[in-house]
Amino acid sequence: MQLIPDRLVATDADGSVIGTCPIHGDGPHHLGPLVVNLAITITAASTGAMPRVSWSVANRGDTAVRPWSVAVVFTVAHRGPLRMFRHGYQSWSPCDVATLGVHHDPSLDNPTGIELVQGVHHADQRTARPDELRSEFVTVLADADTPMGADAAGKAIAVGFDAGVDHDGTFRLRPGNASGSNVGRQRVGRSGPIGRRHRRTVGRGVLGGARLDPGTSLTLHGFAATTDAPVAELLTAWAALVGTAGAARTAAAFQVGWCSWYHYFHDVTEAHLRSNLAASGSWPFDVFQLDDGYQAAIGDWLDTNAKFPSDIAGLASAIAASGHTPGIWLAPFIAAPDSQLATAHPDWMARTHDGAGPLPGMFNPPWGGGMGGIMLALDTTNPEVLDHLTGVARQLRDAGYDYLKLDFTFAPSFDGVFSDPTRTPAQRVRAGYDAIRAGAGDDAFILGCGAPISHVVGAVDGNRIGSDVDPRWTLDPARADEAYPDALPATLHAFRNTLARSFMHRSLWLNDPDCVMLRTTETDLDPAGVRTWAETVAVSGGMVLVSDDLALLNATSRALLDEVIAVGREVDAESQAGSPPVCDDLLDASPPGRLRSARRSLVVDTSTGHGKLTSI
């Protein structure tokens, strides 16, 4: 397989082409008013030349331009059908494998037809072409008919962006043919592409319509293709490079804790918190984290509701008095329409493009909020909003919370009107995280959730890497017709992403696979499923959080947790030494079912949730 440089293309927000031109070597390329300064370095490999792209874009015209994307198009010279590892956009977005011409983009199955629903799971919220596949931040391309096991070196190509804090990077795979490109007809080396089937792969810098004024420029994140190693090694090496370049925060201690969400959900009360604190003395929890349900309203994070007679400082004091680090949940980039924040500062909310009103940032009916569960996205390009976020984080730290979980943090990436139109969606999300970090301090543990993966490297200490678990293995059948069902709560969905993103642990952050489910009552997980998920968390080396009412757990539950922690610490230490766990069947099964660390191997029947853990 070879990637042959073909064309540059820039598009605007409505999909119109701003400019396009063939790639004619390094140097400036003119795309209408835009100039892309391009450099492609070629590295020899067993399967052909592997490109590395460095580039920037400048506006040399007389008026402002709002490019949606700038893309490098490559011809893919390959004889057989191609499959693609599709890496998801944010924490809950599914990671899977698809074959070009067989599968299609999930945006085509969105029953709501609402672009903002797609914006939750894609850097580009618009519906994809029917004939294309796409992956965010990183991808792997391979022959659809060739097994890609642990020893399949040189049979796949990994392509990944170096970073994603200034703009998103998306890869798209499309059909093509030799006659569509002069470059595609050239002979390359002894086994040139003549006679092979051709496709297009597109490395796209998504600027999201950020305004580029005359005379201004933006250095785009580079990307590179690599091969000559098994898939797991290619992805591990890519994550290590991205983490180093992005000053990833990977030094935090192994995390063990308790969280209120998966037993009490929105109905949590102070009595629930205190009863679990009272029962926690013999449990090995470092962190005790209060989740959604304490706040006066979404957006009003410093005030408690009637279910919590104590204020946030009093709750933190109670947690600390029990010997645990106080943790708290917030969704800092959204606000309920009837919250004190939104009513006092309507100008702090981003706006829809049509001027109809504030920009929705999330929909969750249990939150209420005055508009049936529609939450509003904060304008994180507004300096006053950033000062507010810094102040909230500082006050939470002053109240005693050293562990902050930030949720639904994709909201500022949605397409809308922001006070600074020159900022890209990635920059809007990152600005919010940086403001929180400024208030929380460098020594706070910040956990990202609902976080665009590429935006938060270097900003978070831990990051959720999959969808919510659920007290069942597969998706609740009642939710099967919802948009993006593979991202909805199900233990299988969390399992799939834990394997698919295992290579990120201790390179980009501490992986948070989500909570273990230890209870044997009030659950639809059978005992084998309970153990399988617990062992998955263990072999991932990631954070270990319990979210059951401790009164429901018995000695068997405690013994299983102790096993998880012991194995998890072992695998985490291996990851810190540069050997994170790997998924050997990432491209061979969807979902995959094999996770391996240096000394452990877990094999799972994903149809039943039953697995077997062995020592190597």
Which residue in the list 468, 470, 584, 588 is annotated as catalytic? Answer: 468
C-alpha distances (whole Å) from 7 to each of 41, 71, 205 are 16, 8, 14
407 flagged as catalytic: yes
401 contact partners, CB below 8 Å, separation of at least 6: 312, 316, 326, 327, 328
Q: Do residues 66 and 228 make contact, with C-beta atoms less than 8 angstroms apart?
A: no
Best CA proximity match to 134, nearest among 178, 93, 77, 78:
93
Instruction: Note if 468 is an active site residue.
Output: yes
Which residue in 6, 291, 402, 407 is the catalytic one?
A: 407
DSSP 8-state code for residue 234? H
Q: What is the 3-state secondary structure (H, E, C) of 409-478?
A: CCHHHCCCECCCCCCCHHHHHHHHHHHHHHHHCCCCEEEECCCEHHHCCCCCCEEECCCCCCCCCCCCHH
Helix (H, G, I), strand (E, B) or coil at 519: coil
Q: Which residues contact 116 (CB under 8 A, 6 or more apart)?
A: 125, 360, 414
* Both tokens assigned to 467: 């969808």
Q: Are 544 and 568 in contact (CB under 8 A)?
A: yes
CB–CB of 418/448 below 8 Å? no
DSSP state of 75: E
Using the CB atoms, write b or e for 56-94: b if 16+ within 10 Å: bbbbebeeebbbbbbbbbbbbbbeeebbbbbbbbbbbbb
What residues have CB less than 8 Å from 281, skipping those under 6 apart?
Answer: 322, 323
Residues with Cβ within 8 Å of residue 87, at least 6 apart in sequence:
95, 135, 136, 137, 138, 139, 453, 500
Q: Which tokens in the block code for residue 315?
A: 């709750």
Active site residues: 407, 468
